[in-house]
Copies of this chain bind each other. A is one copy, B any other.
Amino acid sequence: MRYAVIGTGAIGGFYGAKLQRSGVEVHFLLHKDYTHVQRHGLKIYSKDGDFCLPAVHAHASPATIPVCDVVLIALKTTQNNLLKDLLPPWVADQGILLTLQNGLGIEPQLAQLVESDRVILGGLCFICSHRGDPGTIHHQDYGSLTIGAYGDGYQPQGVTPLLETMARHWRQAGVETFLAPDLGYARWKKLLWNVPFNGLSVVLSATTTEMMATPPTRALARDLMEEVQRAAASQGVAIPTADLEQMLHSTATMAPYVTSMKRDYDRNLPLELEAILGYPLAVARGKGVALPRMTMLHQLLQHLDRQNRRHGSGTPAAPG
């Protein structure tokens, strides 16, 4: 099977490099790091052991990518407007799109961009990683992947043979892989973390450890989680309260972490507000559920995002 990676950053670069190291043919679409990676390949500094890929299939444009069986989508969701020009026609008939993106509403968005015979899978990356110098990625912690698919009407589909096949590939690549019989539950559970900690890390300019160290902030993180839980319930997804407790506990005990949203903010990049807050709020509102804290967090972040991009230069809104 031939893979492509759209968006060779902290996520796409890391997971794509793991695949290539295990012998899979991987094509990487790059933007500003293209020349560097074309010459020098990729370098992964990982808590599981550093490794180099001195030669990779680097592409500056989708036009040079051969037809691929699996396409990993690892752009920031704020760049998804670019996908209509990046995806067709080189995704194989009955090919697989595996999005590694955060948030909610991604799969419906992809479904509008490709032929109906393409298979859309959702991948959730539980990883702390970030980009370094051109062509380098730093993998600090975790690194698992959870894959699932929606059934008709975005209902739970269970674990299919295709998901089992995908899991084998990833496990061969040394990636701890889980299969989600209910992708909606998996996505909402991930929001349970992303909403409070990505959001508050920007508003408070704080690491996870700093947030968990202050009692009012810890209480607020929990309050926000309860709203995510209510939003999920409005979509028929039940998140047990034990999930909240476990997540608060693991966040309190993990190494200090600068969230991906905070890193984007510090680089004056657009924040993934729609996927993390806007879309979840909209679907809950559609069911008549009011979520004052999540709404307030969204409002605060919209303000900060605007001011931040006005003040900073940002890097161009393009992949890689």
A residues neighboring B (CB under 8 Å): 200, 203-204, 206, 210-211, 214, 216-217, 219-220, 223, 292-293, 295-300, 302-304, 306-307
Tell me whether A214 and B293 are in contact in the complex, defined as CB-CB below 8 angstroms, given that A220-B299, A300-B204 are known contacts: no
- Contact between B307 and A216, CB atoms less than 8 A apart: no
Contacting pair B307 A206 (CB below 8 A) = yes
In angstroms, Cα B296 to Cα A159, docked, is 40
B210 and A300: CB pair below 8 A? no
Of the candidates A204, A302, A303, the one having the most CB atoms from chain B within 10 angstroms of its own CB is A303
Tell me the complex Cα distance, A126–B298, Å: 31
What are 6 inter-chain pairs, A to B, with CB distance below 8 A? Answer: A204-B303, A214-B302, A216-B298, A223-B295, A293-B293, A296-B297
Q: Which residues of B contact A219 (CB under 8 A)?
A: 299
- B residues in contact with A304, CB < 8 Å: 204
- The 8 Å CB contact of A220, one of B203, B204, B296, B307, is B296
Distance from A235 Cβ to chain B, minimum over Cβ atoms (Å): 21
A298–B216 Cα distance when bound, in Å, is 8
B299 touches A216 (CB 8 A): yes
Q: Is the CB of B214 within 8 A of A306?
A: yes
For the complex with contacts A216-B303, A223-B292, A223-B295, 5 further pairs of A-B residues with Cβ separation under 8 Å are A204-B300, A204-B304, A214-B307, A217-B300, A217-B303
Contacts of A300 in B (CB 8 A): 200, 203-204, 217, 220
Kindly report which residue of chain B lies nearest to residue A291, judged by CB atoms: B292
- Bound-state Cα–Cα, A300 to B220, Å: 8
- Chain B residue numbers with a CB within 8 Å of A206 are 303, 307
| Complex-state Cα separation, A210 to B307, whole angstroms | 9
Chain B residues near A293: list those with CB within 8 A.
292-293, 296
Query: Contacts A223-B292, A292-B293, A293-B293 given: A299-B203 contact, CB under 8 Å?
Result: no
